């Protein structure tokens, strides 16, 4: 299949784009890390290799040969063959079929309440009435500026779209005016908390007559022949993590700075309601790009690990961690464990530890076999208010399947605020095994 690409466009933001700013600022306050997003081009061929029904993040090649992590939270839009572009959507909302990509669940044809049409000549109005099913109604509404508008209702909702499609197909075959069509859905249940939606539908979507029993859905999307390439906007974990030293010192200034920068506005200006398309069941069933579990895990995962470590002075400890990982990047967890201090002293032969940890799971290419961890851990001795251990931990994570990992901290640095000890600093080696579920 032929494919084309567009030049990669890279944008780094000190804060996340609209809709994610509050989470970005929370990350900045807690971790000192403003999130950086990158926008890159991806060819149609590389995108289609992903398939559908994905349960885990996938490595995806960009137009410039870089590999990135693609998950359900990644934003994407389609560059079309006519030079245009769709709105940005989350990959978790995309449905894929042999016909194309659907960007929402959409509205079923049987849930339509009425149709409206403008721009018809008088003989078009007559042809419309001639094709009407039993008990259907055509009402006329006049407007001095817009002209006549015809409102169509049927006794059974399933008759409405087939009626319109037969009319449009006949008018198109005769070279007559097909009009400008709009539709309105039935009022949703009160618990939906929204009014009935109105939307337009291009006439070309109706030029193939519908059978009355054929299930159809009206939804935003794009068909494969119109796809030229893709753009994806994703959290770049490597660049984000590299900003830790500067952001720790400068995040108060970022809180005061204006977030309405030109690049973010440019990205948001691409959002908007594109015309809906008519998707037929006969063209193949749609499959979600990411399954429900993958959509949940792209937002939050349960994190658990346990292991052991030793300091260069011979202190032995066994920490266990339980917490959450957000956006497959930020980690916040509680830490408990046991410590056997070297030389014992006033602490005794064994003490219990309790505390917290904040960290970053850095996986730039989506390959589950390798990632990197950088975090800060603070624990104290249970029952002692004058003891604190603050540690900086850096090291690789080696994947065990799609969920598990082995974490190795070859050279952590820990400051021990313990009375009656000869040294306040320790070098740590830690090995932990765990998983993110």
Instruction: Determine contact, residues 328/297, Cβ cutoff 8 Å.
Output: yes
Instruction: Determine contact, residues 399/409, Cβ cutoff 8 Å.
Output: no
- Neighbour-count burial of 422, counting CB atoms closer than 10 A to its CB (0-12 exposed, 13-18 middle, 19+ buried): exposed
pLDDT of residue 377: 96
Q: Where are the strands (E) in 281-369, listed by range?
A: 287-288, 300-311, 316-326, 330-340, 351-362
pLDDT of residue 21: 43
pLDDT of residue 227: 95
Instruction: Determine contact, residues 374/402, Cβ cutoff 8 Å.
Output: no
Q: What is the dihedral of CA 425, 431, 436, 437, to 10 degrees?
A: -130
Query: Helical H runs in 107-242?
Result: 122-130, 160-173, 237-242
Instruction: Determine contact, residues 284/99, Cβ cutoff 8 Å.
Output: yes
pLDDT of residue 253: 52
pLDDT of residue 421: 56
Q: Where are the strands (E) in 161-313, listed by range?
A: 180-185, 198-201, 216-223, 227-235, 276-280, 287-288, 300-311
Domains and CATH numbers, the chain: 21-103+223-291 (no CATH), 107-221 (no CATH), 297-436 (2.40.160.20)
**Ramachandran region, residue 369 (left: φ > 0; alpha: ψ -120 to 50; beta: rest):** alpha
According to DSSP, the residues that pair with 29 across neighbouring strands are none
Q: Edge-to-edge, what's the strand order for the sheet holding 37-43?
A: 37-43, 227-235, 75-80, 89-90
Q: How far is CA 125 from CA 116, 144, 149, 195, in A?
A: 12, 18, 10, 30
How high is the mean pLDDT in each 10-residue block of the chain (437 residues)? 36 39 44 73 94 93 90 95 93 93 91 92 89 92 77 92 93 90 90 86 86 85 94 89 63 46 36 68 81 95 96 91 95 94 69 93 89 94 78 95 93 81 80 96
Q: In 3-state terms, what secondary structure has residue 226?
A: helix
């Amino acid at each position: 299949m032929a494919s084309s690409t567009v030049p990669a466009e890279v944008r780094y933001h000190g804060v996340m784009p609209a809709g994610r700013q509050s989470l970005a600022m929370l990350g900045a306050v807690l971790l000192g890390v403003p999130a950086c997003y990158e926008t890159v081009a991806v060819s149609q061929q590389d995108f289609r290799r992903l398939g559908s029904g994905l349960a885990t993040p996938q490595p995806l090649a960009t137009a410039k040969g870089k590999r990135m992590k693609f998950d359900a939270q990644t934003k994407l839009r389609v560059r079309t063959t006519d030079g245009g572009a769709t709105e940005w959507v989350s990959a978790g909302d995309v449905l894929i079929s042999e016909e194309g990509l659907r960007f929402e669940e959409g509205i079923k044809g049987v849930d339509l309440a009425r149709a409206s049409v403008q721009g018809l000549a008088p003989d078009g109005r007559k042809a419309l009435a001639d094709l009407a099913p039993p008990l259907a109604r055509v009402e006329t509404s006049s407007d001095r500026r817009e002209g006549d508008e015809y409102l169509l209702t049927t006794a059974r909702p399933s008759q409405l779209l087939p009626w319109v499609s037969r009319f449009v197909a006949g008018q198109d075959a005769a070279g007559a005016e097909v009009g400008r069509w709009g539709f309105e859905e039935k009022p949703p249940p009160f618990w939906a908390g929204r009014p009935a939606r109105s939307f337009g539908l291009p006439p070309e979507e109706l030029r193939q007559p519908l059978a009355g029993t054929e299930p159809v859905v009206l939804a935003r999307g794009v068909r494969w022949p119109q796809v030229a390439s893709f753009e994806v906007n994703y959290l770049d974990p490597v660049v984000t993590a590299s900003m830790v030293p500067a952001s720790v010192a400068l995040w108060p200034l970022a809180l005061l700075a204006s977030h309405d920068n030109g690049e973010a506005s440019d990205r948001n200006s691409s959002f908007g309601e594109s015309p809906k398309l008519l998707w037929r069941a006969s063209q193949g069933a749609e499959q979600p790009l990411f399954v429900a579990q993958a959509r949940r895990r792209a937002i939050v995962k349960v994190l658990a690990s346990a292991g052991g470590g030793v300091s260069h002075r011979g202190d032995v400890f066994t920490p266990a961690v339980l917490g959450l990982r957000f956006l497959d990047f930020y980690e916040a967890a509680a830490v408990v464990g046991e410590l056997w201090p070297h030389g014992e002293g006033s602490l005794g032969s064994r003490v219990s530890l309790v505390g917290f940890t904040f960290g970053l799971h850095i996986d730039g290419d989506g390959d589950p076999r390798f990632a990197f961890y950088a975090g800060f851990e603070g624990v104290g001795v249970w029952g002692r208010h004058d003891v604190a251990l603050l540690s900086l931990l850096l090291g690789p994570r080696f994947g065990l399947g799609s969920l598990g990992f082995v974490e190795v901290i070859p050279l952590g640095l820990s400051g021990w605020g313990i009375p009656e000890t000869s040294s306040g600093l320790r070098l740590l080696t830690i090995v932990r095994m765990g998983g993110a579920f």
